[in-house]
Amino acid sequence: MKATIEDYVKRHGLTKREVKSFGQWIPTYAIPPERDQIYEIFADDDGRHVVVIDTKKKKFKIVHGDLVHLESDWNDAQISHDTEARPFWKDGPAT
């Protein structure tokens, strides 16, 4: 199965959040490595599931957690990524 980051955002019902880069605290994980980048943030209402898309460099990062935060590396947003994101009880093992 292939999925784009847009598919992921839609599947998880994440909402685009208005975040100003000046005068507002932003966690470092949500800021692209080069601070002059243009980015969008999508998240659930609790802020426990966050996707940051660097729209200039076409990269994305996912942070998901409750008691423990899991943070991805920056990945290419221009391609469809292979995913094994399906219930383990369906279709047998992923191929």
User: 42 vs 47, 49, 58, 59, 93, CA distance in Å?
Assistant: 9, 8, 15, 14, 31
Whole-number Å distance between alpha carbons of 1 and 15: 24
In a domain, 12, yes or no: yes
Q: Is the pLDDT of residue 33 over 60?
A: yes
Quote the radius of gyration of the chain (alpha carbons, Å): 14
Q: Is the pLDDT of residue 95 over 50?
A: no
In a domain, 55, yes or no: yes
Question: pTM value?
Answer: 0.70
Q: Kindly report, residue by residue over 36-81, the tens digit of the pLDDT.
A: 667 888 999 888 899 989 888 888 999 888 777 778 888 888 888 7
Sequence letter at residue 91: D
In a domain, 87, yes or no: no
In a domain, 88, yes or no: no
In a domain, 90, yes or no: no
Q: Provide the domain limits for residue 42.
A: 2-79
User: 73 vs 4, 23, 33, 91, CA distance in Å?
Assistant: 16, 26, 11, 29
